[in-house]
Amino acid sequence: MDYAELPLPPALAGLVAAVWTLAASQPGWVEHEATPDGCVELIRRHAGRSEWRRDQPEFFATGLSDRPIRFGFSGDARFTAIKLWPWAWHALGGAPCPGFADDWIAVAPDSALAMLLQGDPVANLAGALASAVPPPLARAILASDSVATIAARTGLPHRRLQRIFARELGLAPRTYLRLLRFREALQDVQQGADTLAGTAAARGYADQAHMARDFRALAGMPPSNARARARGPFL
């Protein structure tokens, strides 16, 4: 498959993780794994068919998950998608994340969310999020590697953080941070600028074996295989 990410302006940092395009590059029905990364995907399929659990419409959104997702699409399928941090998804009027965790929901073609995927999605996002900024808790999440660090940066006790995460994300704080660390490690592994041991150390894993366990749980394969196969979040 042909996967590419569009450049994003600095103003969208902390709100939009990526805008990507994907086109099938082989005939017949194609199946891939999508790795979990702590984001909501707002997706438009321009052509072909796609399926995860059931057939998907032209516009849909995939929710947060803590495991790899196997999905399929036809050989003529083409997609454009926006990878949103959950707080940006909510700021744009998206449904509560816990309501479609580990699943997807249809998006009405005439909705404001679908309009973001018409024309130039990056320009559309810049306009729709012009007055938005990541809330303090979101900034703390993205800058932290532990729940204790989030608590220290926000002044919120652990139990309150657990309630907020359950209400807003449908995931425990520690689980969500695990996804963010894995997302960064997968990006590093794809770039191949460091050894696997170096990547594990840089991303805060106890050792390379610890990172390998996370890759097997969240990507379904060891880091060495992911390095060879991954295209963005897809394997």
* pLDDT at position 27: 87
3-state secondary structure the chain: CEEEECCCCHHHCCCEEEEEEEECCCCCEEEEEECCCCCEEEEEEEECCEEECEECCCEEEECCCCCCEEEEEECCCEEEEEEECHHHHHHCCCCCHHHHCCCEEECCCCCHHHHCCCCCHHHHHHHHCCCCCCCHHHHHHHCCCCHHHHHHHHCCCHHHHHHHHHHHCCCCHHHHHHHHHHHHHHHHHHHCCCCHHHHHHHCCCCCHHHHHHHHHHHCCCCHHHHHHHCECCEC
Q: How far apart are CA 197 and CA 211, in angstroms?
A: 9
Q: How far apart are CA 170 and CA 47, in angstroms?
A: 32
* pLDDT at position 1: 82
Q: Are 190 and 3 in contact (CB under 8 A)?
A: no
Domains of the chain: 2-128 (2.60.120), 136-168 (no CATH), 173-229 (1.10.10.60)
Q: Is the pLDDT of residue 26 over 90?
A: no
Sheet hosting strand 29-34, strand order edge to edge: 29-34, 69-74, 50-52, 54-55
Q: Is the pLDDT of residue 231 over 90?
A: no
pLDDT tens digits, 46-82? 999 999 999 999 999 999 999 999 999 999 999 999 9
pLDDT tens digits, 152-210? 999 999 999 999 999 999 999 999 999 999 999 999 999 887 899 999 999 999 999 99
Backbone angles phi, psi at 36, to 5 degrees: -75, 140
pLDDT tens digits, 7-17? 999 999 999 99
